[in-house]
Amino acid sequence: MTGPFNDVERSIFTAKEVLSEDYQPDQILERDEEIDEYRHALEDVLFGRTPQNIMLYGRAGLGKTAVTKYMMDALRDEAAKRPDADELFVHELNCNGQTVYSVVRTLVNELLPEGASEFPKRGLSTADAFEELYAQFDRRGGTHFVVFDEIDHLDDVDTLLYELPRARSIGHITNSKVGVIGISNNYTFRQGLSPKVKDTLMEAEISFSPYDASELRAILADRVDRAFVDGVCDDSAVARAAAIAAKDRGNARQAIDLLRVGGEVAKKRGDDGVNDSHIVEAQDLVQRGRLRNRIRDQTQHAQLLLETLAYLEGRGETPARSKTIKTRYERVADSHAVDPLTTLKSIQNHLSDLHMLGFLQRTDRNRGESGGRYYEYGLDLDPEIVLDIRDEIETERDR
């Protein structure tokens, strides 16, 4: 019997997952300095000393998460061999879309004995959650590293970073030790912390710089061998993907995406190899995909504001003041049957965040002594693409 899948063969990819977001490479390339700094910051643990707190900075796609996973695995292996080291626990958490309460709750649940009922989602305070966390740390003993990935997404990060690193010195825990690792895409993260947190944290800082084209080529070459059928991926494809990503902020995730999508383009066209022309065609698709993810990461109201700005932009009504935007936003919210935010201040806060994240352009208007100062906003993206993406997200929601 012949069916629609009969003639499907491995033509381009042998292991496409090697080019996927959650694939963890066994080898980290081109990050020797960062790994060295990391090792220095972590090595106390091997001698049973109190761990250092560590903050990692660098834009998206520079290997912060991958290097951290690699270091934590290596540290766990090494600690197990060292007689002086305490038992080591590593807790890796992503803070995107979380609150301090929810991340502490997740930690507590990871530590609870088997069969114990979970820490409640609602009804208790953050202080209660911390208290339970300390009890569980001490019940388990050992050294606990807590990795807060994308920590800049947390609302009340001051509380977290004031509490946890001092837990032992102020006697909340006595039978265990804790080290905090924070990962931020945002270099200004530290500036935003309260003075008392800045004074007490005493963290080691490791910053990740953008990859250049030759470093990206090395990272890609390592994956090409495993991801593609032998000889299918041309050197020109690797070079082009590396060059495009190097020019646009040196992002390894983008370089890998280009290669994967370039392979898909070649496959769709029925070509038997991947070369630079496929990568060029992949560029637009990857860009849209990235933007879609970034928009999807925003809260509902931030997304509605982006949609509002896209309308205004399309009608030539930007730059616009927050008051104008608010009126228009209320209609957009209404069209999606969402209760709009009511205060101008909350709208302004969202606009300011969206500007910080690179979605919006902002112009500072100063009307002299009498008029005061205000901001006007425009969209820093293609409005049609934003509206398309919003449509897609809403359609998914309705399904």
Question: Per-residue x/- marks for ligand ADP, 252-291, CB under 6 A?
Answer: xx--x-----------------------------------
Was 223 annotated as part of a binding site?
yes
Residue at shortest CB range from ligand ADP: 63
Rounded Cα–Cα distance for residues 80 and 76 (Å): 6
Shortest Å distance, C-beta 23 to ligand ADP: 6
Q: Which of 30, 128 has the CB closer to ligand ADP?
A: 30
Contact partner at residue 220 from Mg ion, ligand ADP, none, CB < 5 to 8 Å by partner kind? none
Least distance (Å) from ligand ADP to the CB of residue 58? 6
Please choose which of ligand ADP, Mg ion, none residue 253 contacts, taking the beta carbon within 5 to 8 angstroms, the exact cut-off set by kind: ligand ADP
Nearer to ligand ADP, 14 or 363 (CB): 14
Minimum CB distance to ligand ADP, residue 6 (Å): 34
30 binds, among Mg ion, ligand ADP, none (CB under 5 to 8 A by kind): ligand ADP
Size of the site for ligand ADP (CB under 6 A): 17
Comparison of 12 and 252: residue with beta carbon closer to ligand ADP: 252
**Min separation Cβ 22 and Mg ion, Å:** 11
Which residue in 65, 251, 298, 322 binds Mg ion (CB under 5 A)?
65
How far apart, in whole angstroms, are the C-alpha atoms of residue 396 and residue 264?
23
If one asks whether residue 186 binds Mg ion (CB under 5 A), the answer comes out as no
Q: Of these, 63, 165, 262, 319, which contacts ligand ADP (CB under 6 A)?
A: 63
Contacts to ligand ADP from residues 118-177, by CB under 6 A: none
Which of Mg ion, ligand ADP, none interacts with 157 (beta carbon under 5 to 8 A by kind)?
none
Which of 12, 13, 18, 28 is close enough to bind ligand ADP by CB under 6 A? 28
Token pair 């399309």 is found at 314
Tell which one of 41, 55, 66, 302 touches ligand ADP (CB under 6 A): 66
Look up tokens 């834009």; give the residue. 59
Q: From 63-71, 329-337, 338-346, 391-399, give the range in contact with ligand ADP by CB under 6 A.
A: 63-71
Among 38, 45, 52, 61, binds ligand ADP (CB under 6 A): 61
Measured from the Cβ of residue 382, the count of other Cβ atoms closer than 10 Å reads 15
- What residues line the site for Mg ion (CB under 5 A)? 65
- What residues line the site for ligand ADP (CB under 6 A)? 25, 28-31, 58, 60-66, 219, 252-253, 256
